[in-house]
Amino acid sequence: MIEARVVLTNKLGLHARAAALLTTTAAKFVSTVHIQGNNRTANAKSILMVMALGLTAQSELRIAVDGPDEDECLQAITDLIAHKFYEE
């Protein structure tokens, strides 16, 4: 299992659109992905659980990935967050 800590720097945090992008990215991999923030953990392949974390901009979160393609998966997700979910 590998993990990373990141800060959400996009404008809206894990709002509907960002949450949707995050879950579709996570769903492309067989590894299990968990996001931790606001003292709770969510399955990153579930848009409902990700949104329900209620993570706003500047929140800190921990991403934990476990599985055969964990390296590529973690890379894809941290890239997405680093690019602010491609919001303008």
Partner 1 sequence: MDTLQGRGIVAGVAIGKIMFPVKAWDAYLAQYQQGTVAEETQKYHAAHRQAVQGIADAVVKAKATGSTETATILEAHQSIITDPVLEESILGRINSRASAPLAVRAACEEIAVMFLGLKDPYLRERAADIRDIGSKMASLLLAVPALEFPDEATILCAAEIAPSVVANLPEDKVVGLILGQGSETTHAIIMAKARGLVTIVGLVEGQLDKLTEGTAVILDGIKGEIIVEPTPAEVAHYQALVHERQVLAAENAKTASWPAKTTNGKRIIVAANIGNPLEIEAAVRHGCEGVGLLRTEFIFMGRDSLPSEQEQYEAYAYVVKRCQEHLCVIRTLDIGGDKPLPYLDIPKEENPYLGLRAIRISLQRPDLFLTQVRAILRASAHGNVALMLPMIINQSEILAAKGLINRAKSELLDEGVAVSTYVPVGIMVETPAAAVMAPTLAEECDFFSIGTNDLTQYTLAVDRGNQAVSYLYDHFNPAVLRFIEMTIKAAHARGIWVGLCGEMAGDLQATKLLASMGLDELSMSATAIPMVKEAIRNSDGDEGLARRILRMATAEEVRAILAK
Comparing CB distances to partner 1, the nearer of 17 and 62 is 17
| Helix/strand number for the chain, H first, E second | 3, 4
The token pair that represents 10 in the structure block: 């996009």
The rounded distance, in Å, linking the Cα atoms of 79 and 29 is 15
Residue 59 binding partner 1, by CB under 8 A: no
Footprint of partner 1 on residues 19-48 (CB under 8 A)? 20, 23, 43, 45-48
Comparing CB distances to partner 1, the nearer of 75 and 86 is 86
End-to-end Cα, the chain, rounded Å? 33
Residue in 4, 12, 15, 78 annotated catalytic: 15
Comparing CB distances to partner 1, the nearer of 48 and 82 is 48
Q: What are phi and psi of 57, to 5 degrees?
A: -55, 145
Which residues contact partner 1 (rule: CB under 8 A)?
Answer: 11-12, 15-17, 20, 23, 43, 45-49, 51-52, 54, 56, 87
